[in-house]
Amino acid sequence: MPEPAVSQPGPWRCPVCRETLSLFGEERRWVCPAGHSFDLAREGYVNLLLRRSGGHQPGDSAEMVSARGRFLASGAYDRISVAVAEAVSSIRPSVLVDVGCGEGHHTRRLDSVAILGVDVSKTAAAVAARSHPAGSYAVATASALPLHARSVDAAVIIFSPTFAEELARVVRPGGVVVTAHPCPNHLATLRELVYERARPHEVKPPLRGAEEWFDEIGSVTLRFPVVVSDVAALRTSSP
C-alpha cells in the first residue's frame, strides 16, 4: 500500500467550514478535516476567496499591480516601509499578518517568526509569494480573514481598508495593529496638477471609532518629498 501523504498544519483556516487547513506538500494542496481543498499555486500562494457569481476577479489588475510595483521599487515610499518595520520590530511578534499586502513590497521588510500576507488581488498575491518565499500568502478579503481567532500577535495595514472588528477577532489580547494612512498633504503637488481646485486629503484614521477593541499607544507623523526622476521607468515594464 502507498504511504499516506504527509500533511503539515498551517496558519490558514478553511473559508467554508473554518477548520484548520493543512498543507499536503507533495500534492500542493491545502486541505481541511472536512475535505475542502485549495490548490497551492505555482507562485506559492493559496486562493481562499470563495468564488462569486459572474466570475469577476476582485482587487487590483495585473497592470495596476505592475505599475505600483515599479513606483515602490523607485524607493519613493521607503520611509514608510522603514517606519512600519521599526514599529513591528519593537513588538517582536511571533506571528504577523500584513492585511492588504499588495505585491509584498512592505511585507518583505517586516521581521517575525511567521509572516503572513493577505490581499484580495490574485495577481498581487502571486507577485508577493514569488518574491518572498519565506512568507505565506493567501487571496482573501480584509473583512473575512482566513485566520483563527486570536492567532496573530500583530497586524499591519498600509494604505488599505480596515475592518476593526475582524482585526479584533484575529489579533490576540495584548497584540498590536500597526497602520499607515495618508495625511492632509499627501501627494498634494500631484493633486494640484490633476485638479483645478485641489483639496487637502481627508484624513481617515483606519481605526477611528474602534475604541471598543483598541487603544492607541503611539503614533508617528512622516513628512518627506516624493521625487519621481525617471518617469519613463514608471510608465513601462522593465525588459
Instruction: Enumerate the domain spans of the chain.
Output: 7-40, 62-235
Residues 6+ apart with CB under 8 A from 47: 38, 39, 41, 122, 125, 138, 139
Q: How many CA atoms lie within 13 A of 235 on its CB side?
A: 4
Q: What grid cell was written down for 195?
A: 485638479
Q: For 67-86, what is each residue's pLDDT tens digit?
A: 899 989 989 899 999 999 99
In a 3-state reduction of DSSP, which class is residue 191? Answer: helix
Per-residue pLDDT of the chain (239 residues; tens, 9 = 90+): 344 456 788 999 999 999 999 999 888 999 999 999 999 999 999 999 987 655 567 888 999 999 899 989 989 899 999 999 999 999 999 999 999 999 999 999 999 999 999 999 999 999 999 999 999 999 999 999 999 999 999 999 999 989 999 999 999 999 999 999 888 887 777 777 777 887 887 787 788 889 999 999 999 999 888 877 665 655 554 43
DSSP 208: T
In a 3-state reduction of DSSP, which class is residue 78? Answer: helix
- Burial label, 235 (beta-carbon count in 10 A; 0-12, 13-18, 19+): exposed
Q: What is the pLDDT of residue 230?
A: 63
Q: What is the pLDDT of residue 235?
A: 59
CA 235 to chain centre: 24
Q: What is the pLDDT of residue 204?
A: 79
Helix-helix angle 122-131:62-73, to 10 degrees: 40
User: Between 3.40.50.150, 3.40.640.10, 1.10.1240.10, 3.40.50.80, what CATH number should domain 62-235 receive?
Assistant: 3.40.50.150
In a 3-state reduction of DSSP, which class is residue 237? Answer: coil
Q: What is the pLDDT of residue 172?
A: 97
